[in-house]
Amino acid sequence: MPKGYIIGHITVNDPEAYQEYVVRDTPILEGLGGRFIVRGGQSVVPEGEVLERHVVIEFPSYEAALAAYNDPAYQEVAEIRRRTADSVILVVEGHDG
């Protein structure tokens, strides 16, 4: 069964307030089976335009990733991100091949 991923591309507009999101989302997503693969760090964009920060969270399955994103506790904390950053969030199925 392919793994599932939540992928975020984010530009933080209020770094101080955004930290509350980082502190609060981590235990929720890890408690739902997530493992942070990428969380910020260096990046280069050789083609196209994207937001500044990139996050990849791996889950045991696509269904688990989708359930984590839709989890009410996560959605409550996600409001902090929505207020303090511009973001594009994807839930995707991994390749099992």
pLDDT at 62: 98
Rounded Cα gap, residues 59 and 35, in angstroms? 7
pLDDT at 97: 78
44 closest CA partner among 55, 54, 31: 54
What is the full per-residue pLDDT of the chain (97 aa) written as tens digits? Answer: 899 999 999 999 999 999 999 999 999 999 999 999 999 899 999 999 889 999 999 999 999 999 999 999 999 999 999 999 999 999 999 998 7
CATH number at residue 20: 3.30.70.100
pLDDT at 88: 97
pLDDT at 81: 97
pLDDT at 37: 97
Provide the domain count of the chain: 1
Which residues share a beta bridge with 85? Answer: 12
Rounded Cα gap, residues 43 and 26, in angstroms? 21
Give the residue numbers spanning the domain of 18. 4-93
pLDDT at 96: 86
